[in-house]
Structure 1
Amino acid sequence: MLVNMDKYEDVSVLDDANSALDREAARLASLIYTHTSQDGTYASPIHGLYVNRYSQVEAADDVHTMFSPVICIAAQGNKRITVGKDAYEYGASRMYIAPVALPVAMKIMQASPQIPFLGIGLYLDPQRIASLLPMVFPNGLPEVRNRSACYVIEADLAMMNAAARLMACLSSPDDAQMLAPLVKDEIYIRILRSPIGVYVAETVLAESGMQQVAKAIDWLQNNFSQPWKVADLAELVHMSESSFREYFRSATAMSPLQYQKVLRLQEARRLMLSSSIDATTASRRVGYLSDSQFSRDYSRFFGCPPTRDITRWRQDQQQLK
């Protein structure tokens, strides 16, 4: 009887690769834990790098926030990010990538005091990424198809190793200053060379449709309380209205007006929570003219009217304390 030893060698190689990936994820988790004293999200001394540590599954409500263009890498635990109607989950040795700024809802799905959620985020630097494009795509970008607002992919051994080395730079001010920028470039290059690299590349390519959408998003973030028309915003970024609508939805999973509405509602909620102002004042500050329309939009988005939502949120925080 003949035995195909190549089959067993392939299994052995695969097991070794998985073990190496697990070890690198454990190393990254240890470094994150070392540099975080308690639960929370922390900016680091390395420009553009932040770290996450959460030791419990969060309450029923998602956390609503604004995400800048980012690469998130999880070392352990599990997290869900919702954009529009689409939900994305990523856990150990997986990456979440958002090529453009997005209003999102986040929730920790798997975490405990013994095995907390641990991850890092690295903001995408448009200038650095643009400078790397000629090296990664010397013949120009390939055709872009099936664009999405976000992407979740596996982080291979090389990417996990780079993430761990970036975190290790936090242990030395000299390394953080001199070596971290090189490791960040490595991470950007590995993303650009990945299956979703072209989607990141097109957002920094001069005069591309996605770069124009990124400019429109930047304008919206600074002017969401003002009245405007889609045709005027399209003209501002030098696109036809139909093309602008198509590109915008493919990049954000929502229309320009829906995007503005989410920005307004998130900011209104932030104002009520942080400044203790009432719903009417908050709605006016973000651009609403009708209390009833604000209440309807708020209820559909957050699940209940403004006053009840804020009261419930504060009660939940008191219980956590």
Structure 2
Amino acid sequence: MARQTQALARICDVISRHAQEGRAPTALPRVRLERVSALTPPAGETLGPSVSLVVQGTVRTVLCEKTSYYGAGEFVVASVGLPVTCAVTGANKVQPYLAISISLQPAIVSEMLLAAPAPRQTTVSSVAQALATGIADPDLLDVVERLTRLLDRPADAAGLQPLYERELLWRLITGKHGQTVRQIGLPDSHLSQLSHAISWIRTHYDQPFSVEELAARASMSVTSFHRHFRAITQMTPLQYQKHLRLHEARTRLLAHADDVAGVGYAVGYGSPSQFSREYRRMFGAPPRNDAAHLRETSAT
């Protein structure tokens, strides 16, 4: 425990010196830092293949109907794009919320799998999970620390960052949640098949679709597609699309709060009443009121 606490403190020191308020990329490719100095209202985002580590503070995430809380030393691994709602629940100006996120590259994951030991036997449901969480052990924190410290030594980044990223992947693949990471690099996995359908929904969230068409994109039967889609995303395809639509609508309403109906139509809703009803169910307030609250919060 002491070793983990010390590693987190060192990572925190580097991030504190380099992170600007908000979330932004860094001079290191595929590495983003986040710094938030106040509590935030829920905001939607879509995770991609990545690992994120909370270094200081706490955050609440909601995926479909499941709410989770993460604090310092806890990490999240995502293997596919998942629409989640996040809110910083522990932060202030003296001790801001700090986190680091590293994108994972499928091609590198595939290379690492060739050398990795065979996975332990697991159930179908655990293999299918696209989101895994855990407490970072000393070895994982050690490599994240060395990767983060490259922000202080940019001249070393070109040679050392690829090595550290491979070590990070190795720790994840051979760790407790290795199956989630393995799916990123397996071309014949259910995740790989479903990614074609998921990518289509993400880029065409405002358009209607049939499950038969999505199943064909995934080269699956409709029954198999439904089962694996829900196992991986914890949602049905329609729920997944609804989350994407409402997250996009919330972003647009910040700029166009007076055009609730227009925003609803733009993200795919044919009925203003249905849009307002589903928006309120997800975010707890009607679109216009929620947008006004978000603008007030952002201005303070």
Q: Shift of residue 241 of structure 1?
A: 0.9
1:164 counterpart = 2:125: no
Find the counterpart in structure 2 of residue 28 from structure 1: 11
For 1:174 and 1:276, locate their aligned partners in 2 and report how far apart those are by CA, in whole Å. Answer: 46
Find the counterpart in structure 1 of residue 96 from structure 2: 116
1:42 counterpart = 2:24: yes
Among residues 244, 255, 268, which one is paired with 1:287 in the alignment?
268
Find the counterpart in structure 1 of residue 164 from structure 2: 183
TM-score, normalising length from structure 1? 0.87
Q: How does 1:179-258 map to 2 (within 5 A)?
A: 179-258=160-239
1:146 counterpart = 2:132: no
Task: Please tell me whether the aligned partners of residues 64 and 266 of structure 1 are also in contact (alpha carbons under 8 angstroms).
Answer: yes
Return 5+ residue gaps in structure 1 as ranges.
1-17
Find the counterpart in structure 1 of residue 281 from structure 2: 300
Q: Shift of residue 317 of structure 1?
A: 2.7
SS in 1 for 2:172: helix
| Aligned AA (1:162) | V
Q: 1:103 to 1:111 in 2, by over 3 A?
A: same
Find the counterpart in structure 2 of residue 57 from structure 1: 39
For 1:195 and 1:266, locate their aligned partners in 2 and report how far apart those are by CA, in whole Å. Answer: 32
Q: Shift of residue 117 of structure 1?
A: 1.8
Q: Shift of residue 276 of structure 1?
A: 5.3
Task: Please tell me whether the aligned partners of residues 150 and 156 of structure 2 are also in contact (alpha carbons under 8 angstroms).
Answer: yes
Q: Which moved more, 1:103-112 or 1:184-193?
A: 103-112
Q: Shift of residue 210 of structure 1?
A: 1.6
Task: Please tell me whether the aligned partners of residues 65 and 103 of structure 1 are also in contact (alpha carbons under 8 angstroms).
Answer: yes
SS in 1 for 2:208: coil
Q: Shift of residue 235 of structure 1?
A: 0.9
Q: Shift of residue 45 of structure 1?
A: 1.6
Q: Which moved more, 1:265-274 or 1:220-229?
A: 265-274
| Aligned AA (2:6) | R
Task: Please tell me whether the aligned partners of residues 99 and 199 of structure 1 are also in contact (alpha carbons under 8 angstroms).
Answer: yes
| Aligned AA (2:25) | A
Find the counterpart in structure 2 of residue 12 from structure 1: none
Task: Please tell me whether the aligned partners of residues 119 and 179 of structure 2 are also in contact (alpha carbons under 8 angstroms).
Answer: no
SS in 1 for 2:185: coil
1:94 counterpart = 2:77: no
Q: 1:275 to 1:177 in 2, by over 3 A?
A: farther
SS in 1 for 2:198: helix
Task: Please tell me whether the aligned partners of residues 32 and 51 of structure 1 are also in contact (alpha carbons under 8 angstroms).
Answer: yes
Find the counterpart in structure 2 of residue 77 from structure 1: 57
| Aligned AA (1:42) | A
Q: Shift of residue 274 of structure 1?
A: 3.2
1:253-308 CA distance string (max 9 Å, x none): 11100000111111122122135561121122211111121111111111122122
Q: CA RMSD of the aligned region, Å? A: 1.8
For 1:50 and 1:144, locate their aligned partners in 2 and report how far apart those are by CA, in whole Å. Answer: 33
Task: Please tell me whether the aligned partners of residues 91 and 97 of structure 2 are also in contact (alpha carbons under 8 angstroms).
Answer: yes
Return 5+ residue gaps in structure 2 as ranges.
none
Choose 1 or 2 for highest CA Rg: 1
